[in-house]
């Protein structure tokens, strides 16, 4: 069976923004720097401290060797940033196709990571999207990417969706868990964005990120269990985004729209779907619900989710809807199963029919992202 990883990552090269930003922005743009304590990292505009290179490039390392900082660029596996090396690593792991997300770009949050400097945010996202397209162009059959979308306004978001949607290899648009302007995803202002995404055939990707109000702050992380609490609960944020979109009726107005919860797992989806159906059954009358269908009908048609290691989700796949589930390797992050991807799949699919297995490891992703499995 061909295998598609619906969530992998592309490490931004040290000169990406230095080369690609407009000349007037390069000096104050993102900079790759050597850190005082050792290792390299990214200094982002307006950030109080650099972001170390570390946990986002751990592919192939033992769990005991994971480190949050202290990594030098020359020690990063070439498959993290070089397309030919990536394809070789995919072959080694048994992966045929992949959908790529950023590394440091995950922190952009639709623009929140730029301290209100939207000129810089838009320029940085455009530069990344161009770089991503060029990377994917090395093999458009096997490599696909999710473009970053600036949420300065609906107009800026739509403009980049329309621009990036025409770039080779771009098959999705990455939206933050919650909009940068503090509106929720059910706000009517976003209707032009949904239309642009549907018209351009781009899936919506909502990658794992902090929940609204979750504090990822030095003082919280310094106390016992701070880091573990953040990692343990960060997966729950996309449920809120799913809810606002679904209950607003966006999937009835735009039946071709697909939204994917990325890297947040699937074990929670069975309860989420059951709860949503119950809310619809009991409360749609007095709330004057906009939905034309029971919420469960959107799973596998409009709503999807990726996972790396989630035996609970696979065992409850009938309650979630197997058509909604997408396997991923998360290369080169800490959740990755690479290079033992096939072993990971074998462990998850004991007793699962080949029909269901094919859907989860390839066919569903091919349908969402337009891969040709022939």
Q: Would you say residue 41 lies in a domain?
A: no
Confidence band, pLDDT 50/70/90 cuts, at residue 111: confident
Q: Is 125 in contact with 149 (CB distance < 8 Å)?
A: yes
The CATH code of the domain that includes 166 is: 3.20.20.140
Q: Would you say residue 363 lies in a domain?
A: yes
pLDDT at 24 over 90: yes
Which has the closest alpha carbon to 164: 115, 117, 127?
127
How much is the average pLDDT of 45-50? 84
pLDDT of residue 272: 96
Q: Is 152 in contact with 121 (CB distance < 8 Å)?
A: yes
Q: Would you say residue 145 lies in a domain?
A: yes
Q: How far is CA 334 from CA 129, 143, 309, 356, in A?
A: 24, 21, 12, 27
Residue 127: partners with Cβ closer than 8 Å, 6 or more residues away: 16, 17, 20, 21
Sign of CA dihedral 215, 148, 302, 342: negative
pLDDT of residue 214: 55
- pTM for this model (two decimals): 0.94
Q: Would you say residue 257 lies in a domain?
A: yes
**Read out DSSP for 108-121?**
GGGGGGGTT-HHHH
Rg (CA), the chain: 20
Q: How many domains are contained in the chain?
A: 1
pLDDT at 216 over 60: no
Helices (H) and strands (E) in the chain, counts: 16, 11
Q: Would you say residue 24 lies in a domain?
A: no
Q: Each residue of 255-264: b (16+ CB within 10 Å) or e? A: eebbbbbbbb
Q: Would you say residue 34 lies in a domain?
A: no
| pLDDT tens, residue by residue, 59-110 | 999 999 999 999 999 999 999 999 999 999 999 999 999 999 999 999 898 8
Range of the domain at 245: 4-16+89-369
| pLDDT tens, residue by residue, 133-159 | 999 999 999 999 999 999 999 999 999
Q: Would you say residue 58 lies in a domain?
A: no
Point out which residues pair with 113 in neighbouring strands: none
pLDDT at 132 over 90: yes
Cα–Cα distance between 1 and 342 in angstroms, integer?
11
Cα–Cα distance between 242 and 233 in angstroms, integer?
17
Confidence band, pLDDT 50/70/90 cuts, at residue 331: very high
Average pLDDT, the chain: 94
Q: Would you say residue 28 lies in a domain?
A: no
């Amino acid at each position: 069976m061909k295998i598609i990883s619906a969530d992998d990552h592309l490490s931004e090269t040290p000169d990406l923004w230095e080369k690609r930003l407009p000349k007037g922005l390069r000096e104050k743009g993102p900079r790759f720097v050597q850190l005082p304590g050792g290792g390299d990292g990214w200094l982002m505009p307006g950030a109080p401290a650099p972001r170390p290179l570390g946990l986002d490039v751990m592919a192939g390392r033992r769990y005991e060797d994971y480190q949050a900082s202290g990594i030098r660029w020359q020690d990063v596996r070439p498959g993290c940033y070089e397309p030919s090396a990536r394809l070789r690593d995919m072959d080694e792991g048994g992966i045929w196709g992949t959908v790529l997300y950023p590394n440091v770009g995950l922190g952009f949050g639709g623009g929140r990571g730029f301290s209100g400097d939207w000129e810089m945010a838009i320029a940085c996202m455009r530069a990344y999207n161009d770089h991503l397209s060029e990377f994917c162009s090395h093999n458009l059959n096997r490599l696909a990417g999710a473009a970053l979308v600036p949420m300065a306004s609906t107009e800026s978001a739509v403009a980049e969706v329309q621009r990036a949607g025409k770039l080779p290899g771009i098959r999705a648009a990455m939206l933050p868990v919650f909009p940068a302007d503090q509106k929720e995803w059910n706000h009517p202002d976003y209707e032009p964005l949904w239309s642009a995404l549907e018209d351009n055939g781009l899936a919506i990707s909502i990658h794992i990120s902090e929940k609204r109000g979750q504090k990822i702050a030095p003082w919280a992380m310094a106390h016992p269990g701070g880091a573990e609490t953040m990692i343990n609960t960060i997966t729950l944020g996309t449920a809120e985004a799913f809810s606002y979109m679904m209950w607003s009726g966006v999937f009835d107005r735009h039946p071709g729209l697909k939204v994917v919860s990325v890297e947040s797992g699937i074990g929670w989806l069975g309860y989420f779907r059951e709860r949503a159906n119950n809310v619809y059954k009991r409360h749609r009358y007095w709330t004057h619900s906009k939905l034309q269908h029971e919420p469960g009908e959107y799973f596998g048609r409009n709503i999807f989710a990726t996972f790396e290691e989630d035996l609970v989700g696979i065992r409850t796949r009938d309650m979630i809807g197997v058509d909604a589930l997408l396997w991923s390797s998360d290369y080169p992050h800490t959740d990755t199963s690479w290079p033992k991807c096939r072993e990971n799949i074998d462990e998850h699919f004991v007793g699962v029919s080949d029909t269901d297995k094919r859907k989860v490891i390839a066919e569903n992703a091919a349908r969402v992202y337009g891969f040709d499995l022939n």
